Amino acid sequence: MTVRIPRSSGRKKGVSPGQPTKHDSKICGRKNVRNMEKFPPDFPMGDVQPGLCLDNSVFNVLKEHSMREEKQSQRHHEKKEHSTQEHVLDPKTRLMLFKMVDSGKLGEVNGCLSTGKEAAVYHAEGGGELEDGTPVPDECAIKIFKTTLNEFFRRDKYIKEDYRFKNRFGKQNPRKIVRLWAEKEMHNLKRLHSHGIHCPKVVLLKKHVLVMSFIGKDQIPAPKLKDSQLTQDQLKSAYHQCVQTMEKMYNDCHLVHADLNEFNMLWFEGRIYIIDVSQSVEPSHPHGLEFLLRDCKNVSTYFSKKGLAETLSHQDLFNKITGLGISAVDDQEFLTQIRAYTQRQQLLDVIYDKKEPYPFDFFFEETMSSRQDDSGSIGVDVKRGKKDLNESKSSESNEEEVLSEKEEETDSDSTDED
């Protein structure tokens, strides 16, 4: 017995032969024309006549082209919004500067003073006040770090091994890394200024914008040491100031500039001013002493080229600053001894578990002693209590020693009797 399967008509059930479906060419064409209205406004579509039908293949090509154009325009727009090129500020940075002027902190932002690989420096008129009432200098320098700079990734060794910032340096976007650089320069400048080293004074920090005091007069910046025309006496004074500054930075501030040269020193009114300390690290940094040796070499090379007879060699200058007394035949051996010394120090820190002291006890005693005037003898009672506690601990330890000695004597007597 044969079973005949009915032939499919190609239509859905309940659809008559004359009824149009969604696959109808005219319906699809009109629908494609309506969907063209969803294209970006900048996409050139021309005049769409009523009753126009657009084939599916043509519509798909136009749709892909519009999407590609939109992505490309967004990419250019994003780059324009977040880039800080030479003499050019991105809109967000412009808005930050406008808010500083509008709030009265700054009077006016003038032209660009200098540009570099990392930042651009602008002149601004101050004279206002901060929120806490601190007066703003009459002339300020605004250092704006470039926010789309890959140079910061290649210089991560200056901040990644710094214990002050290493926990905050990770897989971050460039803008956040640049903020760390700006914050690090602010902290380093404050440390230098607190120890009496001539450098720009920090006014305020806002993300990647650092406002400092202006080294110069009447919008004319102080010349770099490289561009200064110094007499022999001035050159001698500049060298001694530079050596004293390096010694003070290392021994008092516990900082190594790590990029000290004639480009990062200003000569103004007979004094040396230190600038660009964003990469400065502490001597305990794994490469801190190597950076110091490089700074010594830059300083000795510059002043020796200027013909100053009193210039020390970079090795003698390094030993003068650190007091290590390293002696070597050549530079390679000198560097090897520095690295060996650094490794020994790191090993000792690991063995003795060297950590920064937690200052709770110090501040607690200071707080209690400051209340002594009101309460009479709180600070004395605290110290007396600590003393009694220490005495009780020592007495307990002495009692334990006496008991252990008695036990030993009894044991020895029992053995003698046996």
Catalytic residues: 259
d(CA 30, CA 365): 84
Specify whether the backbone of 298 is left (phi greater than 0), alpha (psi in -120 to 50) or beta: alpha
The amino acid that residue 341 corresponds to is Y
What is the distance of C-alpha 258 from the center of its chain?
A: 15
Helices (H) and strands (E) in the chain, counts: 13, 9
Q: Which residues contact 27 (CB under 8 A, 6 or more apart)?
A: 20, 21
Contact 221, 254 (CB under 8 A): no
Task: Give the residue from 188, 189, 192, 273 showing the smallest Cα distance to 225.
Answer: 273
* 38 residue type, one letter: K
The helix (H) or strand (E) run that includes residue 265 is: strand 265-268
Phi (first) and psi of residue 213, to 5 degrees:
-70, 150
Contact (CB, 8 A) for 105 and 204 = yes
261 phi/psi in degrees, rounded to 5: -160, -175
Could you tell me if 124 and 107 are in contact, meaning their C-beta atoms sit under 8 angstroms apart? yes
- Lookup: tokens for 133: 């009432």
Distances in whole angstroms, Cα of residue 50 to Cα of each of 4, 20, 38, 230:
49, 20, 17, 82
- C-alpha–C-alpha distance, residues 142 and 195, integer Å: 23
**What are the DSSP calls for 79-144, one per residue?**
HHHT---TT---HHHHHHHHHHHHTTS-SEEEEEEEE-SSEEEEEEE---B-TTSPBPPSEEEEEE
- Amino acid, single-letter form, for residue 51: G
Handedness of CA 125, 129, 130, 131 (dihedral sign): negative
